[in-house]
Each structure stands twice: as structure tokens, then as C-alpha cells.
């Protein structure tokens, strides 16, 4: 296996913030230390500085507090990448912190948020010129890398496990899954659920925004639909086309049933009976949500349905963080943005004829999905190294998966399947 990165992995870490040692930096580190000690005591997080067992083991305190004090949450993640600290149960410790995210920093500091948080670089705005580079940064790492921890469907989004549910009006809430539930089966259930929500049947003309590695398109073709799928990842396009060709040969599907194009969603033309999009909206960006839904509204045929799977966050947190540059933006998803349900409803009502019809929430299912991904990724340590990635990448990816799991396990973020119909 080989990495498709243009530069060696070992050369990619020059952007880790250098340690600072001036008077202001030392003051910031001292403040970070005081806040951290109080937070650990308040929430029962044991801390070790000498390597003895604890919830959080800080190997290099000066580096840890310097990075956190001067670069906030970006520094917190970077200090994990460099090995300045470890946690026996990384996901569990991060979940505790996520549960208290609004109270970790003193109120007086939160009021000064705008003066110290980093702003996203202009180069990461999701303009038509920038978006492909943002997507490639993550999804073009290596198909072989993703295959190491994803299930055989190659689904890189939350699974939907078989659990009880409660429906209240236009919202259905899924009960938490049992740890260790079959992931491949749950990923298939997720895809079939969203195809059902969009009304995909034999003869349907389907637009998929965000191809992934082709599983949804293949399943829609099995239903007798004709699918046009668009992506900005050349790696995903290549494997999705290959997987569909294999399905044609093995199952006798129509050879023209699926078309996978390397195309920005803003350039899509035509008319479609169903528009589906699974966890692609997070790559659209706050300021481009109107163009995303306006495009969908333009291409949706009369009587058609829209079904998207979206990671969402509470509206107040979205407003507070929408212009913040985070560790996730810097290292994992440049240009990413998590909307709120209120924001999606507001944008579609003000800019389109689309109306939110129903939503199913299942954030705890994403926590279990991520737990299983991280377990598989960690078990693939040697294969990841053989693929050309280094130990810093392994720590970065492990932190990313567990940090994300903590967000869903704590309820700080959610995932939903949302159906839209056009207002008559």
C-alpha cells in the first residue's frame, strides 16, 4: 500500500505551532495551568506528571501548558500529536471535557473569545476555487488507509443500528445501540433508510452530492434507479467507479445506471426525482449553505424529495463558533462547518421552496460507529506505517476519531437524517 500524498508524511508537520517562551507566552501558560488544575479537580479527572497511571498523563508539562495557553484547543490537540500527554481512555476523558465544554473556560474569558480565538485562513473558504483542495486534504489521503478501518461497504459516515425509536411530531429519536453491534449491517441500514426517505424506486432519477466510495449509488442502482453522483475527491471517484463496475459484472446491473463525476455541486444541471447527500453538507461552509440548497431546489423535479444526513450542533454553539478555526479545521477538515437544525430550516425557508419535513436523530449511533472505527484503526498500526504514514499521523488520527466520538457521546453534536419536500 502506498500513500497518495504529494509530500512525505514526515514533512507535513512543519505547521505544528512552535513553542513560545516570551513574557506573554509564559503568562498564558501559567493561566492555562491554573484553569486546567481546577477543571481536573472539578470533574474528577486524575492527572499524573511522573508517568504513573491516571486518566491523563502529562509527560512534558511545560510544553503542554505552553501549547494550551498560547493556542487553546489547537494547542491541546497538537500537544497530543507531539506526545506531550496521553490518556488511558482518550475517548472517555474527552467525553467528560465535551460534556462541560461551556464551563471549561471562565465566563470573563469567554466574553473575550473574539480577541484570542484563531480565524479561518481565507485559503480554506469553500469557494469554487478552494473546495477541491479542502476535500483532497482529507479524502485523497489514500483509499487503502480508509479501507483499514472502515467496514466492507466503505461507508465513512454514521451507521444506523437496529434500536428502538420514539417519534414526536416531525422528529424521530433513536435509542442508543449496544456496543459491538454489527457495523456493516448498520451501514447498510443507514443507506437504505435515506433512500427510502428520498422515495428512491425503480425509474427514479437520483442525484447524489458527495459520492463517498460508491455504496449508496450501487444500492440505488439495485433498486432500478439511475444515479448521477458528484464528488471532488479523485481517489473516491476512482474507487467508486471500480466498485460499480464490479457490481455490474457480479450482479448484472445496468452499466449506465451510475455516473460518477468529478464536479462541484454548484455546477450540477438537470432534473432529478430524488436528491441525497450523506454527511457532505459539513464541507459546504456557513456562507455557502444558501448556494447548496438553491442548487438542490433548482434541480429537484416536481414532486421530488431531498434526504440528507447531516452532523449538527446546537444553534447557540454554532453561532458562537461558526468563524472559529479549530484543531479539526487545521488538521482534518479544512473549511468544515457544522450547522444547526434551526440554521438549515432558516436557510431553506428564506432562500428556497424546500421545507423540512422530518428528521431522525441518532447521535449515540455515531459514537458507537467512531468507537469501532478507532478500534480497527488502532489495530492496524503496522499497516498504517507500511502505507507510508508516521507515528505523528497515527496519534493525530486516533485523537481525531476519539475527539469526534466524545462530541457525540456527550451530546455536544448530533447526527440526523433530514427530509425536505418542496412547498406547493
**Are residues 204 and 62 part of one domain?**
no
Same domain for 13 and 129? no
Mean pLDDT for 315-343 is 93
* Final residue belonging to a domain, choices 116, 137, 163: 116
Q: Which of 83, 116, 149 is the last residue of a domain?
A: 116
Please list, in sequence order, all residues whose beta carbon lies within 8 angstroms of the beta carbon of residue 379, skipping any fewer than 6 positions away: none
44-58, 157-171, 183-197, 318-332: segment of lowest average pLDDT: 318-332
From 68, 87, 116, the end of a domain falls on 116
Question: What element of type H or E holds 57?
Answer: strand 56-58
Identify the pLDDT of residue 365.
98
Tens digits of residue pLDDT in 365-391: 999 999 999 999 999 999 999 999 999
What is the Cα Rg of the chain in Å?
Answer: 22
| pTM of the shown model | 0.93
Q: What distance in Å separates the CA atoms of residue 214 and residue 244, rounded to the nearest whole number?
A: 7
Residues 103 and 157 in one domain: no
Which pLDDT score, from 0 to 100, does residue 1 have?
A: 30
Rounded average pLDDT over 91-99: 94
Q: Does residue 4 form part of some domain?
A: no
- How large a percentage of the chain has pLDDT more than 90? 84
Asked if residue 35 belongs to a domain, the reply is: yes
Is the confidence at residue 7, as pLDDT, over 80?
Answer: no
Q: Could you tell me if residue 2 is inside a domain? A: no
Same domain flag for 21 and 147: no
Q: What is the CATH number of the domain that holds 245?
A: 3.40.50.150
Q: Are residues 126 and 112 in the same domain?
A: no
Structural domain range at position 178: 122-422
pLDDT, the chain, mean: 92
User: Are residues 290 and 412 both part of a single domain?
Assistant: yes
Task: Kindly state whether residues 242 and 378 are assigned to the same domain.
Answer: yes
pLDDT (mean) for 106-126: 63
pLDDT for position 103:
63
Q: Are residues 331 and 272 in the same domain?
A: yes
If one counts the domains in the chain, the total is 2
Q: pLDDT confidence of 14, banded at 50, 70, 90?
A: confident
- CA-closest candidate to residue 82, choices 63, 69, 97: 63
Residues 158 and 54 in one domain: no
- Same domain for 110 and 171, yes or no, is no
Q: What is the DSSP string of 276-325?
A: EEES-GGGT-GGGHHHHHHHHHHHEEEEEEEEEEEEE--HHHHHHHTT--
Amino acid at each position: 500500500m502506498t500513500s497518495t500524498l504529494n509530500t512525505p508524511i514526515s514533512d507535513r508537520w512543519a505547521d505544528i505551532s512552535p513553542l513560545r517562551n516570551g513574557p506573554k507566552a509564559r503568562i498564558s501558560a501559567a493561566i492555562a495551568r491554573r484553569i486546567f488544575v481546577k477543571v481536573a479537580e472539578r470533574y474528577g479527572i486524575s492527572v499524573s506528571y511522573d508517568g504513573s497511571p491516571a486518566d491523563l498523563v502529562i509527560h512534558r508539562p511545560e510544553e503542554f501548558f505552553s501549547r494550551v495557553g498560547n493556542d487553546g484547543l489547537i494547542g491541546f490537540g497538537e500537544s497530543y500529536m507531539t506526545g506531550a500527554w496521553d490518556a488511558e481512555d482518550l475517548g472517555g476523558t474527552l467525553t467528560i471535557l465535551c460534556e462541560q465544554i461551556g464551563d471549561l473556560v471562565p465566563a470573563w474569558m469567554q466574553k473575550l473569545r473574539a480577541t484570542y480565538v484563531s480565524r479561518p485562513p481565507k485559503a480554506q473558504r469553500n469557494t469554487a476555487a478552494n473546495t477541491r483542495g479542502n476535500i483532497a486534504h482529507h479524502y485523497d489521503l489514500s483509499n487503502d488507509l480508509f479501507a483499514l478501518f472502515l467496514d466492507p461497504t466503505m461507508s465513512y459516515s454514521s451507521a444506523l443500528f437496529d434500536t428502538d425509536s420514539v417519534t414526536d411530531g416531525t422528529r424521530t429519536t433513536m435509542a442508543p445501540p449496544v456496543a459491538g453491534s454489527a457495523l456493516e449491517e448498520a451501514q447498510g441500514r443507514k443507506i437504505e433508510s435515506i433512500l427510502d426517505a428520498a422515495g428512491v424506486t425503480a425509474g427514479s432519477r437520483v442525484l447524489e452530492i458527495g459520492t463517498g466510495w460508491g455504496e449508496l449509488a450501487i444500492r440505488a442502482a439495485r433498486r432500478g434507479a439511475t444515479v448521477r453522483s458528484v464528488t471532488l475527491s479523485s481517489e473516491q471517484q476512482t474507487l467508486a467507479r471500480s466498485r460499480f463496475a464490479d457490481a455490474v459484472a457480479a450482479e448484472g446491473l445496468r452499466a449506465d445506471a451510475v455516473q460518477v463525476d468529478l464536479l462541484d455541486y454548484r455546477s450540477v444541471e438537470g432534473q432529478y426525482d430524488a436528491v441525497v447527500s450523506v454527511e457532505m453538507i459539513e464541507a459546504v461552509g456557513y456562507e455557502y449553505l444558501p448556494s447548496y440548497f438553491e442548487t438542490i431546489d433548482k434541480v429537484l423535479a416536481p414532486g421530488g424529495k431531498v434526504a440528507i444526513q447531516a452532523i449538527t450542533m446546537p444553534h447557540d454553539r454554532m453561532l458562537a463558533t461558526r468563524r472559529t478555526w479549530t484543531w479539526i479545521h487545521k488538521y482534518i477538515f479544512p473549511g468544515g462547518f457544522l450547522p444547526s437544525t434551526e440554521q438549515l430550516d432558516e436557510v431553506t425557508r428564506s432562500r428556497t421552496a424546500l421545507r423540512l419535513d422530518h428528521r431522525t436523530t441518532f447521535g449515540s449511533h455515531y459514537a458507537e460507529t467512531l468507537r469501532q472505527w478507532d478500534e480497527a484503526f488502532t489495530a492496524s498500526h503496522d499497516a498504517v506505517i507500511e502505507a507510508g504514514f508516521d507515528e505523528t499521523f497515527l496519534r493525530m488520527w486516533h485523537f481525531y476519531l476519539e475527539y469526534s466520538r466524545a462530541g457525540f457521546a456527550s451530546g455536544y453534536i448530533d447526527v440526523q437524517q433530514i427530509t425536505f419536500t418542496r412547498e406547493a
